[in-house]
Structure 1
């Protein structure tokens, strides 16, 4: 099979690899779509915000942690999947035994591995994964939509659910790239009044066309002041940062009302906050 690897900074290669074969509780997926994440682009440019692992990889890893495709081959003990079924693939592989895995939080497993980083990912003809990482998708969903549903949509949907967002809330979302724009749409679907903040005009235009309540251009206005004016000095109920920018993260903290809720989705290396004034 063929797979895409990061050969060096700003260079990817297509290389040949042996076809995978499933072991117990594993399946082989014939990849039909594999989405790009902003973290992929950071790695490509040599600007990854994630800490480098101490151990050196003995093999080159195929990229791609947002794949979708068709079950091609099933290993022993797999009971809930059949060959030919259409599935999206969840990126985190856990031990399946710890308290986090048993509660569905594979990404918190102390032994967690990530497809496309620790093991071969979805930017290839074939992908070997545990059967429990496969999410069946309906016939009406395209493979591209299935790939986007795992990390981008899944992350923000879970955040909105964890934050308890509803029609009672005003929500500010900082950074409306792929993640933030999905978060805005999900929060709006849950009934919230949604304000979005970005400095890219095309993103704000799209949010307006999709019916988001208020678009704030951070290159022209102080978003904290605008949000305070919109909420009559109270602040929003929920603030979500999807940019990973320390300025935006602080703006999120400064925009939320007392007893409000804040979530940081965007990855960043370092952040300085003022706990006494922003949190207490």
Structure 2
């Protein structure tokens, strides 16, 4: 099969590699049609990382079933599917209670099977494959992973009707967080550095958008909330901006409010000074959110698929660029230069 492999310098080379085989009777083999580029992928872009060299990466994908194991009952070749890539070892205490998003072997397992979106074929357990309605495109389905991350954070935050919410970052995660907040009846202010992304946010229902390169975002939040601060601030930028955005999020939250960390960190110790006395005296709760799994008895990815299929979430609005797999390096360059290119969600396609 054709696959984009990570190179020593952190870019990609497209080569022919072995196609995965079905290792168990409950596994499914699918041909990838569309994969997405997310913030995690971008943080590793164009950077030397020996641990990733020659590996297939990517975790936002949709495709078509081509083969199934003997015990697969709900899928058949030809079915259009979205693939969940959050996959733990299935046996630890956390997996047992459907909190596999914090399984200590999560990375090892998911990258061995389902988290290989930049390869032409992907193999995984049947329960990680969700059948798509005919009216949901592969491109839209590739955003379901992103929206599922948002839904998990939304559940942890316990967003309520009429809540005042700030979102830092108007990338795919921030725009998904915005849509869920508006669905719940909240008032939302969203902050970013890219005017194009803020225009998308406005189109999706943001009550106020702020370009923090030209305005004091914390001051605008206080104006938005009558000087109190927001009930919940979602930090959705992550990565190298976190030393600035996380302190900003804590300044935006009201006394007794919440800061939900959705944006991702890099490995290792990261020093981020915070006003801990003020945070403690104000009882501001800092809530980390990691990937997604289940909410009560419902798989969060399945919930998102239902919301998307019913028109309650808009994925199409976020898709700004498309590139074939052979031009994956160009796709990453465009995604990485979003202030210049206006990129929000960049889709990588297979024939």
Q: Name the TM-score, length of structure 2 as normaliser.
A: 0.72
- Decide whether aligned partners of structure 1 residues 90 and 114 sit closer, same or farther in structure 2, where only a CA change above 3 A counts: farther
Tell me by how many angstroms 1:116 deviates: 7.7
Tell me by how many angstroms 1:114 deviates: 6.0
Are positions 1:193 and 2:187 aligned together? Answer: yes
Residue pair 2:167, 2:190 contacting (<8 A) in 1 also:
yes
**Per chain length, whose mean CA-contact separation is higher, i.e. which structure has more relative contact order (CA < 8 Å, sep 6+)?**
2
Structure 2 SS opposite 1:258: strand
Residue pair 1:115, 1:122 contacting (<8 A) in 2 also:
no
Alignment-derived partner of residue 96 in structure 1: 90
- Decide whether aligned partners of structure 1 residues 274 and 111 sit closer, same or farther in structure 2, where only a CA change above 3 A counts: same
- Decide whether aligned partners of structure 1 residues 161 and 233 sit closer, same or farther in structure 2, where only a CA change above 3 A counts: same
Alignment-derived partner of residue 37 in structure 2: 36
Pick the aligned partner of 2:228 from 234, 259, 279. Answer: 234
Are positions 1:65 and 2:66 aligned together? Answer: no
Q: Give the distance between the partners of 1:147 and 1:279, measured in 2 at CA.
A: 40
Tell me by how many angstroms 1:241 deviates: 0.6
Tell me by how many angstroms 1:82 deviates: 2.5
Are positions 1:275 and 2:276 aligned together? Answer: yes
Are positions 1:219 and 2:213 aligned together? Answer: yes
1:237-248 pair list within 5 angstroms: 237-244=231-238, 245=241, 246-248=243-245
Q: Name the TM-score, length of structure 1 as normaliser.
A: 0.89
Residue pair 1:93, 1:114 contacting (<8 A) in 2 also:
no
Flag as ranges the 4+ runs of structure 1 deviating above 3 A: 114-120
Point out where structure 2 has 5 or more consecutive residues left out of the alignment.
282-351
- Decide whether aligned partners of structure 1 residues 193 and 101 sit closer, same or farther in structure 2, where only a CA change above 3 A counts: same
1:1-280 pair list within 5 angstroms: 1-9=1-9, 11-24=11-24, 25-46=26-47, 60-113=54-107, 117-119=111-113, 121-150=116-145, 152-244=146-238, 245=241, 246-269=243-266, 270=270, 271-280=272-281
Q: Which has the higher helix share?
A: 2
Number of residue pairs aligned between Structure 1 and Structure 2: 272
RMSD value, Cα: 2.2
Q: Give the distance between the partners of 2:88 and 2:11, measured in 1 at CA.
A: 30
